A and B are shown apart, each in its own frame.
Chain A
């Protein structure tokens, strides 16, 4: 083990290599590696963002579909209600019409009855007069006995 000037030469060589590495090589390669790491990180972030966007879009689509479905359902209900309403109204108008017709018919019947009754009364009065004439054997003045006849007719 003999130490000699080789130490000095080695210090020179070593120092030179250190200098070259520090000055030119190391900053460049760490810069490059960092740059790539940054790019990879960016790519990952972009992918994540895309994923998030996709999820958001899917959620929005689902929301829209849900809303549309709800609206369709509401419309259906509304239509149902409206139909019911129409049917109900028709039913009501038909019923009232029927009632009205019935009433009219009843009124007609009552009128006819009244008419027939009046007619009958009048005939009864005539019959009564003619009957009485036959009984009495003379003519009865209808005008003088009108009051009596009317009372008779009303009594029937």
Chain B
């Protein structure tokens, strides 16, 4: 914004392009063999943060087991209890994986989403470009479909694994063939329906999170355009645009807090639901 404008005129297209391009590393002939280093960096960083925070909370909990929880530990235990309750409410059979998976998803998605609340130019331009000399650096990992698909596919694989484990190959196969219509003539139709259902789950999981966060980020970038070409607020029009940008950015940011939390919660809840369905035996 200001810093950019002061350095040189950035066109609107350049600005948007700059913010939507990943820092990549291609290591194979095929363009598929590319890593989005910035997304992976944030993903790994937030994973570490999650594990570290969890470990700290755990240590405090253990040490102060006789004291009521305060401060950070209260939040940590609150999240743990919240996830635990949600899992217990929607599960008929308690699996050992569902609750830890749910809290991992909730916290990781929440943390990665929350980076969106930093000023839109802070990480990409100020830190990465000015500080580290990186041309492109996206900061919100969940606006990268690779990340959301990575998580959704992990959930999908776990659902398949538990479906086989809990129902057995025969049981799962039977469900695939005779669900929802319990008639031999409708087996092909059932297979098709189930395939679509199974595939639609990870796709919708991934795209829902990606779409919400990407749109939110895009609105942030668009708000950032107001003062982009104005430079320092030397005249009244530019000053008005600065103020407008600040106010809109604040409002959208405040609204975005809800989306950040909600998307993390939805991803978690849907995962719990899918996994609880994998644990259930068919009821007809």
Per a CB cutoff under 8 Å, which of B34, B43, B100, B154 touches A25? B100
Contacts of B62 in A (CB 8 A): 28, 32
Interface secondary structure of A, over-half rule: helix
Q: How far is the CB of B236 from chain A (nearest CB, A)?
A: 41
Q: Name the segment of B6-14, B53-61, B174-182 touching the other chain.
A: B53-61
Q: Known contacts being A33-B61, A33-B77, is A3 close to B154, with CB within 8 Å?
A: no
Q: B43 is contacted by which of A8, A10, A20 (Cβ under 8 Å)? A: A10
Q: Are B54 and A6 in contact (CB under 8 A)?
A: no
Among candidates B24, B44, B96, residue contacting A22 with C-beta atoms closer than 8 Å = B96
Any chain B CB within 8 A of the CB of A151? no
Interface residues of A in 1-40 (CB under 8 A from B): 1-11, 13-18, 20-22, 25-26, 28-30, 32-33, 35-36, 39
Q: Is B222 on the interface with A (CB-CB < 8 A)?
A: no
For the side of the interface on A, what is the size category?
Answer: 20 to 34
How far is A137 from B150 in the complex, measured between Cα atoms in Å?
182
Check A22–B97 contact: CB distance below 8 A. yes
Contact A18 B100 (CB under 8 A): yes
Kindly count the residue-residue contacts between A and B in the assembled complex, taking CB atoms under 8 Å apart. 120
Q: Does B241 belong to the interface (CB within 8 Å)?
A: no
Note all chain B residues with C-beta closer than 8 A to A13.
40, 43-44, 47, 150
Q: Which B residues are CB-close (under 8 A) to A16?
A: 47
Contact A6 B36 (CB under 8 A): yes
Q: Which residue of chain B is the closest to A9 with respect to CB atoms?
A: B40
Q: Chain A residues near B153 (CB, 8 Å)?
A: 7, 11
A32–B151 CB distance below 8 A: no
B99 to chain A, nearest CB (A): 6
**Cβ-neighbour of A4 out of B34, B44, B54 (below 8 A):** B34
Segment at the interface with A among B128-136, B141-149, B223-231, B243-251: B141-149
Q: Does residue B4 face the partner (Cβ distance < 8 Å to A)?
A: no
Is B65's CB under 8 angstroms from A14's CB? no
Among A10, A13, A15, find the residue whose CB has the most chain B CB atoms closer than 10 A.
Answer: A10
Q: Which residues of B approach A to under 8 Å, CB–CB?
A: 24, 28, 31-36, 39-40, 43-44, 47, 50-51, 54-55, 57-58, 61-62, 65-66, 76-77, 80-81, 84, 96-97, 99-101, 103-104, 108, 144-147, 149-151, 153-154, 157, 210
